[in-house]
Amino acid sequence: MRNFLAVAVSVVSLSLFGCSNTTSDKAQEPAPETSEQTQGMYVTGSGCEMDADCDSGLCWHEADSYPLYNPYWIRASSCTEECGGPDDHESCRLLAVSLNAPYPSTAKCIRARGVYEDVPGDDYVYVCDMLSVGLGQVAWVE
């Protein structure tokens, strides 16, 4: 009799708590991979520490564009993209618009030195200045 009572209580509790054989479509979906969610890649316009932080593969720091940005008065960084040269401001403006930057019309293509960590030497490249459009990470030096 005790076993019969235990079985009856178990069946009732399982039916009350929804442990039935019918499942919804949502319950059949596989759980998302957590490794993909924790990659740590930042979008263009975000602050960064190194190239590997950025989904664009390019992390710009204020010292890369000295004297335009002087590391003695500003500390700044941003994930950015290369541009065509000193007169290629339009591609940077289009990039700023696509990122919903606060000031896309002020975008400019600036000269930067040694921005790629995996390229030896002080090669110059041109990058879109994300600070001028209101993106990136900025800290003023006191």
| One-character DSSP codes across 41-80 | PBPTTS--SSGGGBTTS-EEEGGGGTTTS-TTTEEEEEE-
Under a CB-based contact definition with an 8 Å cutoff, are residues 136 and 45 in contact?
Answer: yes
Question: Is residue 128 assigned to a domain?
Answer: yes
Answer whether residue 91 is part of any domain.
yes
In a domain, 25, yes or no: no
Give the global pTM.
Answer: 0.67
CB within 8 Å of 119: residues ≥ 6 apart: none
Task: Provide the domain limits for residue 48.
Answer: 42-140
List of residues 6+ apart from 55 with CB closer than 8 A = 41, 42, 43, 44, 79
Report yes or no on 8 lying in a domain: no
Domain count for the chain, please give it: 1
Q: What is the mean pLDDT of residues 76-91?
A: 94
- The verdict on residue 10 lying in a domain is no
In a domain, 99, yes or no: yes
- How many Å apart are CA 32 and CA 29, to the nearest integer? 9
Q: Which residue has the tokens 């030096």?
A: 141
In a domain, 131, yes or no: yes
For the chain, percent of residues with pLDDT exceeding 70: 67
Higher per-residue confidence, 6 vs 97: 97
The mean pLDDT value for 97-117 works out to 90
| Residue 110 included in any domain | yes
